[in-house]
Structure 1
Amino acid sequence: MKSRPMKNHSEGTLQHLHEKVNLLEQSNRELERKSTFFETLMRGIPGLFYVFDDKFHVHLWNKNVETTTGYDAEEIPERNIFELFEGDDLPHMRQAIQNVFNTGEGVAEAMLVTKKGERVPHLFTGVRAIIEGTPYLLGIGLDISKRKLAENSLRESEALYRIFAERMTEGVLLFHRGTIQFANNAFSTILGYDEPNQLMGLDIMEFVHKDFEMYFKDLFDSLESGMSTERFFQARWIRKSKDQIWLEGRVNVIQWKGNPTVLLTARD
């Protein structure tokens, strides 16, 4: 009678260990791959990337944080996140960050104060994540200096337009899609109004004589659509008293408060 050969117990144990080692190596390779991908992603973010806990200590950041703030890799973990803000921005950012931890997400604008004391306007975003039972905020900060500069330049341009218009002896109107946005004193006088503000929000076509309505509609459409850049006119208009008045002038398209707007200058 033949006996069945028995599998060596030590060989089975070694094979089991070998399989375990292979699984661990595979897991390590996958972890390294994910880690490399995450590091590449952080480096590619066009701005600040940061992760800090509910005690406001930073645990993870990209190189842009060091470059922008001026703090090196040894200093950042020792810093409280609120050391980067001052003045009215400090309570504003405290509340914004707390809102992220409370609600799960948030957005805020503030001046980031660098190690050298420079103030750089940033737009900050954040989302909450619970990692091993601890709440963290993951976020991105974008430098909005160029946008702020453009906004300031726009405000300055609008102020200049207003000053020049108010001091002109000719009547000046600004309107967008037919709605009056600005009038100077001269134009309000031409139309029989006491104050320029009385014209704000009114439809420009209310003052055009019916015989010229189609003419002006075509004229304004050609300007606002970009088909024309400047047009001249002579036409009858209607004053507040319903009297008719002949006006001559010209119209152009300018940028006003970020919108293409018709600039009309006229005299009677």
Structure 2
Amino acid sequence: MDGSPSLLELIDYKDLQAIQDSFATTTGISSVILLPDGLPITCFSNSTDFCKLIQSTTKGRLYCSQSFVKMNKTALMLQEPTIMYCFAHSGHFVAPIIINNEHKGTMFAGQFIPQEFSDDQLKEFEKIAISINIDPQRLIEEASKMRVVREDAILKYSNLFFQTVKLIVKLGARTNELIHTRDALEHSHAGLETRVQERTLELLKTNKQLQQEITSRNRAMEHFKTLFNIMIDPVIIIDINGMLLEVTDKLEEITGYQKQEMLSKNYLDVGIISTKSHKVITENLSRGMILMPYEVELLTKSGEKMPHEVNSARITYLGKPAHMIVFRNITKRKQAEYELKESEAKYRSLIENLQDGVFVIQDRKIIFANEAFAMIPGYLIEEIIGMDFRDLVAPDDLEMIDDRYIRMMAGEDVPLEFDFCGIRKDDDTQTTVHMTVSLINYLGKPAAMGTVKDITEIKRIEKALLDCQTELNKNFNERY
């Protein structure tokens, strides 16, 4: 709009770049701020080599610019922060900067992928590389190094990203208010000139205070951002000697300790971590910058133990090295794991004790069988697991059994209960079995699950009875 201040008129370029750089340093992902027309306001922070390579050619820069413009328009239409993907399948957090209902710019943060590129995507990069005049192999190599941000980290980064945009909007709105106030004073009646001058001096003083506040915010930015997006979980910050520098309200809530009881004390001496977890947490903190989650026990003031999963990282707090430790309650997960193991144990015991053989076949391989199933052809369980089921079928019935298996896997209707002959392991003698089978989904793929019963003796008795009946009928006919 005509006369409306731009984002750079509301917030100094250095302040915008500092906020953006601080976000990129905290999260480890790239960031940039663009004008509404797609031109960059700031320089890219923490850009990946993959994206740098794409932008090293004129066509590459054009494609990137078109992607940013498209994502910019979509985010503005949605009027809310969102996650989008550019033409090169790179993920970006996108949020329009709306100040007083006016679109001043858009912040992007990303150049990440939620999981490694698929083979199809890597093949697509060959076409992209050729279209933008880049060596395909080099682009694929850089794609394989692309940083992967998992789902839990994406949630944390997105919260931090959206709060960063809110901070920019808040700073811009305050400056915009000052500008409107200044303009109103400048256009006041000449008779109020003295009043205008006094008000202008007040505005200058307020603006100076605002600049001082921005400087102070920049110094505390990492502290603010690190804590802000994880307030739902208990969080502590300790120095390299283990002294507590900061704790969240959530830690007070679940442990029963007040902040004044914990701050400036060694975190191991306060009593919030069980004794048996001391070694676990100290060893993990000594290993590196960012660690894989591990488990410890938190203690309440009353002595109650609560299992928690720990995520920790080395950070800079007020200019000094420190550790940030995030605790996530996993009591429900532990209970669910216990109940699942109990259920699996009961189910396995039931299966193992069935008199009938039980099996699961997938891709023609026997992937599960109980002892009763293995005993029918004379195998041990460890021998029969992994065998091709066709090796257990007599030649005369092999074609019929394999045909029904193929049709079942294709979803066709086939008999689900029938008899056939199998082969024993040692003497190649045949056994007659009765099978009941059904189609299931196992680990995302179709499989056959069923039961078998050895009816060889039953069939032998039936044949003997039939032969006896035949002989009796013959004798009867000859006599009478």
User: TM-score normalized by structure 1?
Assistant: 0.72
Would you say the 8 A contact 1:219–1:231 is kept in 2?
no
Structure-2 residue corresponding to 1:90: 278
The offset of 1:196, in angstroms, is: 2.3
* Structure-2 change in CA distance of 1:174 and 1:57 (3 Å): farther
2:315 aligned with 1:147: no
Cα separation, 1, equivalents of 2:420 and 2:356: 16
The offset of 1:53, in angstroms, is: 1.2
The offset of 1:136, in angstroms, is: 0.8
Question: Residues 22-101 of structure 1: matches in 2 within 5 Å?
Answer: 22-28=207-213, 31=216, 38=224, 42=228, 45-77=231-263, 79-82=265-268, 83-86=271-274, 88-99=276-287
* Structure-2 change in CA distance of 1:69 and 1:260 (3 Å): farther
* Structure-2 change in CA distance of 1:130 and 1:30 (3 Å): closer
> What code does the residue aligned with 1:147 have?
R
The structure showing larger relative contact order (alpha-carbon pairs under 8 Å, at least 6 residues apart) is 1
* Structure-2 change in CA distance of 1:164 and 1:114 (3 Å): same
> What code does the residue aligned with 2:207 have?
N
2:424 aligned with 1:239: yes
Structure-1 residue corresponding to 2:300: 114
Cα separation, 2, equivalents of 1:53 and 1:59: 7
Structure-1 residue corresponding to 2:404: 215
* Structure-2 change in CA distance of 1:41 and 1:79 (3 Å): closer
Question: Residues 127-146 of structure 1: matches in 2 within 5 Å?
Answer: 127-132=313-318, 134-146=320-332
- Partner deviation per Cα, 1:174-227 (whole Å, 9 max, x = no partner): 45655444433221210212x3232233344443453111312443565xxxx9
The offset of 1:18, in angstroms, is: 8.5
> What code does the residue aligned with 2:404 have?
Y
Cα separation, 1, equivalents of 2:446 and 2:303: 39
Give the SS at the match of 2:281.
Answer: helix
Cα separation, 2, equivalents of 1:255 and 1:116: 48
Q: Any unmatched runs of 5+ in structure 2?
A: 1-199, 455-480
The offset of 1:240, in angstroms, is: 2.1
2:375 aligned with 1:189: yes
Structure-1 residue corresponding to 2:453: 267
Cα separation, 2, equivalents of 1:259 and 1:80: 52
- Partner deviation per Cα, 1:230-263 (whole Å, 9 max, x = no partner): 9444344343244443322334578999999764
Cα separation, 1, equivalents of 2:447 and 2:277: 35
Cα separation, 1, equivalents of 2:442 and 2:258: 44
Structure-1 residue corresponding to 2:435: 249
Cα separation, 1, equivalents of 2:256 and 2:390: 58
Q: CA RMSD in A?
A: 4.0
The offset of 1:105, in angstroms, is: 1.0
Cα separation, 2, equivalents of 1:88 and 1:205: 53
User: TM-score normalized by structure 2?
Assistant: 0.43
Structure-1 residue corresponding to 2:110: none
Cα separation, 2, equivalents of 1:109 and 1:259: 33
Would you say the 8 A contact 1:43–1:62 is kept in 2?
no
- Partner deviation per Cα, 1:66-93 (whole Å, 9 max, x = no partner): 1222212222215532343335432122
Q: Which has the higher helix share?
A: 2
